[in-house]
Amino acid sequence: MSRSFLVASFLILMITSCSRNNRYHTFEDYPVYEGNDLEMIYSPKLCKFKVWAPTADGVKLFLFDNGSEGGAYRTLDMKYDENGTWKIEIEEDLKGKFYTFQIKIGEKWMDETPGANVKATGLNGKRGAIIDFRDTDPDGWENDVRPTLKNFTDIVEYQVHIRDFSIAKCSGMKNKGKYLAFTEHDTKNDFGQLTGVDHLKELGITHIHLLPCYDFDSIDESTNKGVQKNFGYSPINFTVPEGSYATNAKDPKVRIIEFKRLIQTLHKNGIRVIMDVAYSHTSNPSTSNLNLLVPGYYYRHSTDSSLTDGTGYGNETASERPMMRKLMIESLLFWVSEYHVDGFNFLQMGAHDIETLNSIRDALDKIEPTIFLSGDGFVSPQSQLISDKRANSFNAEQFDFVAVQNKDFFRGIMDSIQLDSLKQVNYRSCIFGKDSINEFFKLGVLGATDHPQINLSKLANRTLFVNNPTQVVNYLSNCNELTVSDMVDLTKPVGASLDFQNRINKFLQSILFTSQGVISIHGGDELNRTLSGRIAAHEKLDSVSQINWNNKSSNMELFQFFQGMISLRKQHAALRIPTQEMIQQYTSFLEPSSPNVFGYVLLDHVNGDQWKDIIVLYNSNLYPVKVVIPAGQWNVVCHDSKINLNGLFQIQLKDTIFSVPGSSTSIMFDE
């Protein structure tokens, strides 16, 4: 823990102890406000302001003409109302004005803040903006409809950073690095091939997963000079879109309109939108909007009163406290109702408590049960949250209908991993026939669900078991890992050719797409994206982290393989089983014929599939291996790194010995 955090925590306690309203012995004694009118409610005739600040001895409201410059043109005292709230009502049309609150604790006035629940801000999120949200609706917004989603296992998500998506010169997009890049059509690379949203539609994904686009403070919104690249893990306003991705960050309506247009365009193209959210911590906790309202309450502390760090960002919020839980729920509901967001991925989800996650799920189900929730399950051992209350991978069976990123899937394929630094990872072995077909591999393929043919004694170090495959997000690579291309390049056998590396890439992707659970693609992997052996989340150079759309030309065969695997998955429900019971009943492992070979059969039109039985065979050896398969009239659709859903060839009824080429997957069906 840094000295600055310890000092900040001490000052917070000292300030609180001086308050004449210090009548609470613990944070649990603080009153809870149940109303849904915190912050600001606008109408042309009346503007209502209300904040929750139970330890305040006074609260002032400042009104401004400008979102970032100049002093207040009016200062008003707010009055204490009920259950820790302070309010004021102004019978004027204040649209276009800006505001802040200032809290008095004892004899000290804190810094100004736009509040914890602010939903529109000026430049760099320092002042709240008074707007009519109906003025931010794009044309046709009232007719915006979410694309159909039956089961969470139908999801194929594409994880991408907003700037990386369009910033390359060859992207063909005009609004480079902006929300509006996702609204452009008929964009092409230098070779005339589709890029952007048209590329995503051509690829066939169901969801786009946007890396942080809430308001964060690691980019200065007031300037476009120089390269400003950040992954946004420093939230300041949880329910405001980030201004640096807007064409005009000064106008509070522009970022809202443009983010809505992004969602509207993707919906029209059959793609749902998932956004990263980081309620687990804040940037600069001592001066955060949370602490400037209610010092200390929103964070966890150790016994010496210093901030605890369960997130790796120097602090962790206390989701188990009623008003923090309320803030999270109301923020998420607003993203869903106002912006039509279709899902959320919780960063450092393990730092949240299980009850809060289940409460969020319940609240969202009441308005839209198809909203997808997921998280990385990470929590640092330093967290003060009791272990059995953490919403992490170990406790996943306690929060159904919230998915966890499946690191065991990654582990089962990429065997031993050693992290040397933020920018360099050594994979001591990869799936090159090095005893990599193991129980973790099987568990990953079955969506982290239990099965009678899995040897539990070989899973002593497993981190994830779930109730149903709807609760896992399987991935090979994400923003905190290398790309698949880089992993293969770092671990390839000496002298391996480019064709061999592409073969391994296809093999890995075929395992991903034939596994039960939710599927996540690292944006650009379908183009053989490389980060030159670096980790994207820590890379600030556009030249390294941008998606190079010209790579589509030189990797068209890989792109088409992705297309084929996504089509296979979307057309065949047997690969999208929603329950553990169905997997146990209709999935049977084949007896292995040699090391590093694994196969299973999906039986009897499982999950309503049009194909009766499906065989999937994986061979991680570098050479062909013969496998015993059940007798039948098998139609092979994937073989030797090629896929054709109309069939590549047939196997005669009498043939029960099938040769699987090295480093590849074979898939066949019997109608």
pLDDT higher than 90, residue 415: no
Residue 209: C-alpha distances to residues 158, 479, 537, 564, 663 (Å): 6, 11, 15, 21, 30
Return the biggest CA–CA distance within the chain. Answer: 90
Q: Are strands 403-405 and 472-475 parallel, antiparallel or unpaired?
A: parallel
| pLDDT tier, 577 (very low <50, low <70, confident <90, very high otherwise) | very high
pLDDT at position 95 is 98
pLDDT at position 165 is 97
CATH, residue 666: 2.60.40.1180
Per the model's pLDDT, the better-predicted residue between 592 and 417 turns out to be 592
Pair (212, 248) in one structural domain:
yes
Q: What is the pLDDT of residues 460-487, one digit of tens each?
A: 666 678 899 999 999 998 887 788 898 8
Pair (548, 613) in one structural domain:
no
Torsion of Cα atoms, 235 then 237 then 238 then 240, to 10°: -120
| pLDDT tier, 225 (very low <50, low <70, confident <90, very high otherwise) | confident
Contact between residue 200 and residue 269 where contact means Cβ atoms under 8 Å apart: yes
| pLDDT tier, 177 (very low <50, low <70, confident <90, very high otherwise) | very high
Q: What is the pLDDT of residues 318-343, one digit of tens each?
A: 999 999 999 999 999 999 999 999 99
Mean pLDDT of 396-424: 68
Structure tokens at 131: 């707007």
Q: Is residue 287 part of a domain?
A: no
Pair (229, 373) in one structural domain:
yes
pLDDT at position 537 is 59
pLDDT at position 434 is 64
Pair (129, 161) in one structural domain:
no
Instruction: Pick the closest to residue 487 from 537, 437, 424 (CA basis).
Output: 424
pLDDT at position 325 is 98
Q: Quote the mean pLDDT of the chain.
A: 90
Pair (387, 462) in one structural domain:
yes
The residue from 136, 160, 188 where one domain ends is 136
Bridge partners of 88? Answer: 49
Q: Is residue 295 part of a domain?
A: no
Q: Is residue 301 part of a domain?
A: no
Pair (623, 563) in one structural domain:
no
Give the count of alpha carbons within 13 A of 532, CB side only. 9
For the beta carbon of residue 650, count every other beta carbon within 10 angstroms.
12
Q: How far apart are the C-alpha atoms of 4 and 2, rounded to whole Å? A: 5
Percent over 90 (pLDDT), the chain: 74
Q: Is residue 610 part of a domain?
A: yes
Q: Is residue 125 part of a domain?
A: yes
Pair (84, 181) in one structural domain:
no
Pair (554, 601) in one structural domain:
no
pLDDT higher than 80, residue 655: no
Mean pLDDT of 496-502: 89
Contact between residue 83 and residue 257 where contact means Cβ atoms under 8 Å apart: no
pLDDT higher than 90, residue 5: no
Q: How far apart are the C-alpha atoms of 156 and 274, rounded to whole Å? A: 11
Q: Is residue 146 part of a domain?
A: no
Percent over 70 (pLDDT), the chain: 91
Q: How far apart are the C-alpha atoms of 666 and 409, rounded to whole Å? A: 20
Q: Which domain, by its residues, includes 221?
A: 152-280+319-575
User: What domain count does the chain have?
Assistant: 3
Handedness of CA 510, 512, 517, 519 (dihedral sign): negative
CATH, residue 437: 3.20.20.80
Structure tokens at 576: 């999208």
Pair (394, 530) in one structural domain:
yes
Q: Three-state secondary structure along 154-220?
A: HCEEEEECHHHHHCCHHHCCCCCCCHHHHHCCCCECCCCCECHHHHHHHHCCCEEEECCCEEECCCC
Per the model's pLDDT, the better-predicted residue between 429 and 504 turns out to be 504
Q: Is residue 299 part of a domain?
A: no
Mean pLDDT of 164-188: 97
The residue from 136, 170, 188 where one domain ends is 136
Pair (410, 384) in one structural domain:
yes
Pair (60, 113) in one structural domain:
yes
Q: How far apart are the C-alpha atoms of 652 and 532, rounded to whole Å? A: 46
Contact between residue 170 and residue 190 where contact means Cβ atoms under 8 Å apart: yes
pLDDT at position 41 is 97
Q: What is the pLDDT of residues 18-64, one digit of tens each?
A: 454 567 889 999 999 999 999 999 999 999 999 999 999 999 999 99
Q: How far apart are the C-alpha atoms of 608 and 621, rounded to whole Å? A: 33
Pair (233, 206) in one structural domain:
yes
Bridge partners of 634? Answer: 651
The residue from 538, 554, 575 where one domain ends is 575
Q: Is residue 313 part of a domain?
A: no
- Where is average pLDDT lowest: 378-392, 405-419, 503-517? 405-419
pLDDT higher than 50, residue 4: no
Phi-psi region of 499 (alpha: psi -120 to 50; beta: other; left: phi over 0): alpha
Q: What is the pLDDT of residues 249-305, one digit of tens each?
A: 999 999 999 999 999 999 999 999 999 999 999 999 999 999 999 999 999 999 888
